[in-house]
């Protein structure tokens, strides 16, 4: 499972011009489920997102988690994170998990994030979404449950 985590001042998801989810300060997390991912991968990604110490403390040092900073998470499923563009010009999505398996794992990630005490908003699985955000920093972290990077 892969995730792109961005510290944001605000973030939102719209579908067909209608706002469907939004947060103020917190994390925008794009999540890609890959073939072979399990609940263990979902737990890893959720725990990392909730525990990342990337919010400034009173000294301006990134030393607080999203919960400690009283932030929220906006989670958006994005199968293209499993894309492989190493060969040619058209990415291959062969490692992206099929929707019927990916959706429950995406829902599991969100549930684990909520267990961590953080409010979680979400995009709509498989919808054509327009995602907006104001990246704070910018501050962006890449996560991979297989620890490939």
Q: Residue 132 domain-assigned?
A: yes
Query: β-strand 72-77 against 120-122: which pairing, if any?
Result: parallel
**Which CATH number covers residue 27?**
3.50.80.10
Q: What is the predicted pLDDT for the residue at 149?
A: 72
Q: Which residues are catalytic?
A: 78-80
CA-to-CA dists, residue 104 to 4, 31, 38, 45, 55, angstroms: 19, 13, 10, 14, 29
Domain containing 55 equals: 2-144
- Give the model's pLDDT for residue 148: 84
Residue 67 falls within a domain, yes or no? yes
Q: 149 lies in a domain?
A: no
- 77 domain residue, yes or no: yes
The CA distance from 144 to 31, in Å, is: 10
Residue 84 lies in a domain: yes
- Whether 140 is covered by a domain: the verdict is yes
Mean of pLDDT values over 24-40:
98
Q: What is the pTM of this model?
A: 0.95
Number of domains, the chain:
1
- Express each pLDDT in 92-147 by its tens digit: 999 999 999 999 999 999 999 999 999 999 999 999 999 999 999 999 999 999 98
């Amino acid at each position: 499972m892969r995730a792109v985590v961005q510290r944001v001042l605000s973030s939102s998801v719209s579908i067909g011009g209608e706002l469907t989810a939004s947060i103020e300060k917190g994390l925008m997390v794009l999540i890609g489920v890959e073939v072979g991912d399990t609940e263990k991968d979902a737990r890893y990604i959720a725990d990392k997102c909730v525990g990342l110490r990337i919010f400034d403390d009173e000294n301006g040092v990134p030393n607080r988690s999203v919960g400690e900073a009283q932030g929220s998470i906006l989670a958006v499923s994005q199968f293209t994170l499993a894309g492989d563009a190493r060969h040619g010009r058209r990415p291959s999505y062969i490692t992206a998990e099929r929707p019927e398996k990916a959706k429950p794992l995406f829902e599991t990630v969100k549930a684990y994030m909520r267990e961590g005490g953080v409010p979680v908003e979400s995009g709509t699985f498989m919808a054509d979404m327009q995602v907006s955000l104001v990246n704070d920093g910018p501050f962006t972290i890449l996560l991979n449950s297989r620890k490939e990077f």
